[in-house]
Amino acid sequence: MLFWQTGVRKGANVFNRKVDSDLIKAAKEYKIGFIRLAPDKFETTQRDFLLGNADNYLGLISKDLKVLKDVLDAFHQQKIPVVLTMLSLPGSRWKQNNNDKDDLRLWSDQAFQKQAAKFWQDLAKELKDHPAIVGYNILNEPHPERLYNTADSAIYNVEQSKVQKNLFGFYSSVVNSIRQVDSETPIIFDSSSYADSNTFNKFEPVSDKNVLYSFHIYEPFAYTNLKLNQGNFAYPGHVQSFDAKKVEYWNKDKLKSYIEPVKIFQKRYNIPDYKILAGEFGGHRCSKGLEHYFRDLTSIFNEYNWHFAVYGFREDIWDGMDYELGSKKLSWKDWQAIEEGRMKKNYLPNNSIFKILREEWSSQLAGHSS
């Protein structure tokens, strides 16, 4: 836990199809404090990377494991720590790899929870001594609420007792499984409802000393999401709620209010600041006032001494959250040329949005403590 105990760590998310040397070198140059890496999009000959098949986990795929270890080696060569997270687990295939359908079997079938615990035990056994690894983030944005409510809004309003019992039981089994082979590597738990801070009201800590608790924030969603925003909302300012039933004024105080359940969780269970991670935050780079939004959020995280990681860094499939490009939208023609390798992205590292992130990354501790 020393890495997390010795200062606020400031990182970035990489969920790419391929992690190349240019990305890693750029991360080093920008002094990004850690990378939260999801390898699920990496190329594989199997149905699901590393897992083989999320319908029936039988063991790690050795070729995929080598690919992952090579990427971790490359990050370590540049002394960049890595938090490893998974978008898919047995019985919980990532929606974008599952014909855009939620896979909720993990939350309704104990057999899949046992397979997921075994998967993490197998992976921890392989990675426990890898010098790049500073955390296992078990599952990105769990949402067992979908078992009880299939609506697309306010799923944290679902009665949480069943949800949290399910989540706590699953997390506890994974911890027990990992600790049989790895007693030290920090384990990171996203809250439910897609890691929403609201569900920290009912979140129950796991009895292990080397753990962190994580939330994600993209609120107000009608502001950070380009399709919902359509240029209508700016920050700070009045923003329509996700369900379009009300309009609220969003500023730094409102952001603090939104994530207050995390502070309450800390006080209730005596959780130190270094065990809290804002695992993702971000917004479409064309959103008006995004630099102010980032400034306010990062200042809150710094005030609370919480670690944080922006989403994302040099994403290869989509440019909406590639803040290095600035706030102007790429034309379809340019994007097609980039995809085909006929043109490189025009990075603008001094743009007002990315500059805030650079300043934050540069202000943290240098080096790697395991």
Residue 149 lies in a domain: yes
Quote the CA–CA distance of 325 and 346 in Å, as a whole number. 6
Residue 54 lies in a domain: yes
Q: Which two tokens stand for residue 71?
A: 């990427």
Q: Note whether 210 and 187 are within 8 A (CB).
A: yes
Question: What is the arithmetic mean of pLDDT over 209-228?
Answer: 97
**pTM for this prediction:** 0.95
Helices (H) and strands (E) in the chain, counts: 14, 10
Residue 93 lies in a domain: yes
CA nearest neighbour of 89 among 201, 173, 155, 156: 173
Q: Note whether 164 and 202 are within 8 A (CB).
A: yes
Which pLDDT belongs to residue 95? Answer: 96
- Bridge partners, residue 345, by sequence: none
pLDDT at residue 40 tops 50:
yes
Question: Confidence class of residue 370 from pLDDT cuts 50, 70 and 90?
Answer: very low
Residue 370 lies in a domain: no
Q: How far apart are the first and last CA of the chain?
A: 7
Residue 367 lies in a domain: no
Which pLDDT belongs to residue 58? Answer: 98
pLDDT at residue 158 tops 90:
no
b/e for 135-153, b at 16 or more Cβ within 10 A?
A: bbbbbbbbbbbbeebeeee
Question: What is the arithmetic mean of pLDDT over 344-348?
Answer: 83
Q: Which domain holds residue 260?
A: 2-362
Question: Confidence class of residue 369 from pLDDT cuts 50, 70 and 90?
Answer: very low
Q: Read off the pLDDT of residues 278-328 as tens digits, 9 standing for 90 and up.
A: 999 999 999 999 999 999 999 999 999 999 999 999 998 889 999 999 998
Quote the CA–CA distance of 233 and 135 in Å, as a whole number. 36
Quote the CA–CA distance of 315 and 363 in Å, as a whole number. 24
Q: Read off the pLDDT of residues 238-248 as tens digits, 9 standing for 90 and up.
A: 999 877 678 99
Which residue in the block uniquely carries the two structure tokens 């949402």? 143
Which pLDDT belongs to residue 80? Answer: 98
DSSP for 141-168? Answer: S--GGGGT---SS-GGGS-HHHHHHHHH
CA nearest neighbour of 213 among 163, 281, 263, 174: 263
pLDDT at residue 368 tops 90:
no
b/e for 291-315, b at 16 or more Cβ within 10 A?
A: bbbbbbbbebbeebebbbbbbbbbb
Quote the CA–CA distance of 283 and 298 in Å, as a whole number. 13
Which pLDDT belongs to residue 346? Answer: 83
pLDDT at residue 20 tops 90:
yes
Mean of per-residue pLDDT scores for the chain: 94
pLDDT at residue 343 tops 80:
no
pLDDT at residue 154 tops 70:
no
Residue 353 lies in a domain: yes
Residue 221 lies in a domain: yes
The CATH number of residue 130's host domain is: 3.20.20.80
Q: Would you tell me how many other CB atoms lie within 10 Å of the CB of residue 368?
A: 18
Which residue in the block uniquely carries the two structure tokens 């290095």? 324
Quote the CA–CA distance of 68 and 39 in Å, as a whole number. 7
Which pLDDT belongs to residue 156? Answer: 60
Q: Which two tokens stand for residue 208?
A: 């292990």
- Number of structural domains in the chain: 1
Q: Note whether 220 and 241 are within 8 A (CB).
A: yes
Residue 369 lies in a domain: no
Q: Read off the pLDDT of residues 81-119 as tens digits, 9 standing for 90 and up.
A: 999 999 999 999 999 999 999 999 999 999 999 999 999
Which pLDDT belongs to residue 56? Answer: 98
Question: What is the arithmetic mean of pLDDT over 237-264?
Answer: 93
Which pLDDT belongs to residue 339? Answer: 74
pLDDT at residue 153 tops 50:
no
CA nearest neighbour of 35 among 13, 9, 10: 13
Question: Confidence class of residue 150 from pLDDT cuts 50, 70 and 90?
Answer: low
Question: What is the arithmetic mean of pLDDT over 22-42?
Answer: 98
